[in-house]
């Protein structure tokens, strides 16, 4: 699946992290991982990252980072992938504030076995 989001240049790192976390959390919820206590908000604290890593380890689930892309495995089977986003610099000539004339179009590509199942139904 591919999505496009238009964002301010200053917000690109935060928006990327939020979108990635929403995707990963959604996949983990599909698997049935109990996330209520370890993932209370979109952005994870260091303490909650450690709790999440320990929980996933017990469930034989791995979230592997590769150059800002992520793959989610369960029992050595690939379940989902978040590809490194692409950023395209765009210009809005109608913007009145000079700092808002340039913005990013963030292109997000994802794949999961759950998307495949939904598309087949």
Q: Which pLDDT score, from 0 to 100, does residue 115 have? A: 79
pLDDT for residue 45: 93
What confidence score (pLDDT) does residue 116 get? 64
For residues 47-61, one letter each, b for 16 or more C-beta atoms within 10 angstroms of the residue's C-beta and e for the rest, the string is ebeebbeebbeeeeb
For residue 66, the number of C-alpha atoms closer than 13 Å in the C-beta half-sphere is 9
pLDDT of residue 119: 60
The predicted-structure confidence for 40-80, as pLDDT tens digits, reads as follows 999 999 999 999 999 999 999 999 999 889 999 999 999 99
């Amino acid at each position: 699946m591919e999505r496009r989001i238009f964002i301010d240049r200053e917000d690109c790192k935060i928006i990327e992290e939020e979108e990635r976390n929403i995707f990963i959390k959604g996949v983990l919820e599909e698997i049935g991982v109990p996330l209520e206590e370890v993932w209370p908000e979109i952005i994870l604290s260091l303490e909650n990252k450690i709790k999440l890593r320990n929980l996933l380890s017990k469930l034989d689930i791995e979230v592997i980072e590769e150059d800002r892309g992520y793959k989610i495995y369960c029992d050595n089977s690939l379940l989902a992938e978040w590809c490194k986003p692409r950023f395209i610099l765009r210009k809005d000539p109608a913007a009145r504030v000079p700092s808002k004339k340039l913005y990013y179009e963030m292109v997000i590509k994802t794949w999961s076995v759950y998307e495949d199942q939904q598309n087949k139904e």
